[in-house]
Amino acid sequence: MQNSFEIDLAAGTVHVHQWGTGPEVILALHGFRQSGLVFAKTLAPSSDRFTIVAPDLPFHGRTVWDQQEYTPHDLEQLCWQLINKMGVQNFTLAGFSLGGQLACGLAIRGTLPINRLILLAPDTPATKWGWFTFGIPYASRKALQRLFNRIGDQYRWLERLYQFRILDRFTYYFLRRNLAEKAGRNQLFGTWRARGYFQSTFRNVAQLPIPVHIHLGQEDPLIPAQKIKQKWNMLDVNLHATGHNILQDFSF
């Protein structure tokens, strides 16, 4: 049975989805252009062990966000309110894709009572275009946002870059879809700016003093499963015969 509620923070109101009533709480963070609803089928029907709470991240779903970005402090405040509402002392933190990067960034800060980390096709520095996601300085991110907002929806230059094979097919259509309208640009750049605050490395995730479970799709075109398995060979890495949408066959 699904329930939903809202959490008020200083920077906005976060919409949260809930499934289950079990004693162990899993706080699940979704990917880009999704909402917490992507976790709707991840609770096994017969399970009475877990409660899943999945917020709509800022700029996504039904969450209303008043700032141009969000920070680890914002998500930490959200986590504290959620675990207080659930009445638990600690929780499992799970993240899919973008949510995996955010989960890693939160876990290594050591400020939350996380007892287990579950990473589902997580964004890492090894992800396709990871250098752009992880390596661009914050000031450059803000400057690029201002530039694209001035350009508006005039993106003929994208076609030129695609024609000259500077951009591959996936990147071309990704940018076309996300830059075409102001709402999409705000979502893209607000998320991109926020991601700069949630940096982590393979080493500091591997050194976390809690169990870390990683699930990767062997056919994922974005997340190089074998490379990440080698980087995290000391952790519990599970390979699935699927692509990036690993949630379609996954359950907690």
Amino acid in position 100: G
Question: What number is the average pLDDT over the span 69-97?
Answer: 97
Query: Collapsing DSSP states into helix, strand and coil, what is residue 236?
Result: strand
Lowest model confidence (mean pLDDT) among 32-36, 44-48, 91-95, 152-156: 152-156
pLDDT at position 201 over 70: yes
| Cα–Cα dist 43/52, whole Å | 8
Amino acid in position 229: K
Percent of the chain whose pLDDT exceeds 90: 68
Question: What is the pLDDT, as a whole number, of residue 61?
Answer: 97
Question: What is the pLDDT, as a whole number, of residue 154?
Answer: 56
Work out whether strand 24-29 and strand 91-96 pair parallel, antiparallel, or are unpaired. Answer: parallel
Place of tokens 């996936």: 170
Question: What is the pLDDT, as a whole number, of residue 179?
Answer: 76
8 Å CB contact between 52 and 18: yes
Question: What is the pLDDT, as a whole number, of residue 122?
Answer: 96
Question: What stretch of H or E contains 185?
Answer: helix 182-195
What tens digit of pLDDT does each residue of 210-234 get?
999 999 999 999 899 999 999 999 9
Percent of the chain whose pLDDT exceeds 70: 90
What tens digit of pLDDT does each residue of 15-60 get?
999 999 999 999 999 999 999 999 999 987 767 899 999 999 999 9
Beta bridge partners of 95: 29, 119
Work out whether strand 50-55 and strand 24-29 pair parallel, antiparallel, or are unpaired. Answer: parallel
Amino acid in position 135: G
Lowest model confidence (mean pLDDT) among 49-63, 105-119, 146-160, 222-236: 146-160
Question: What is the pLDDT, as a whole number, of residue 132?
Answer: 67
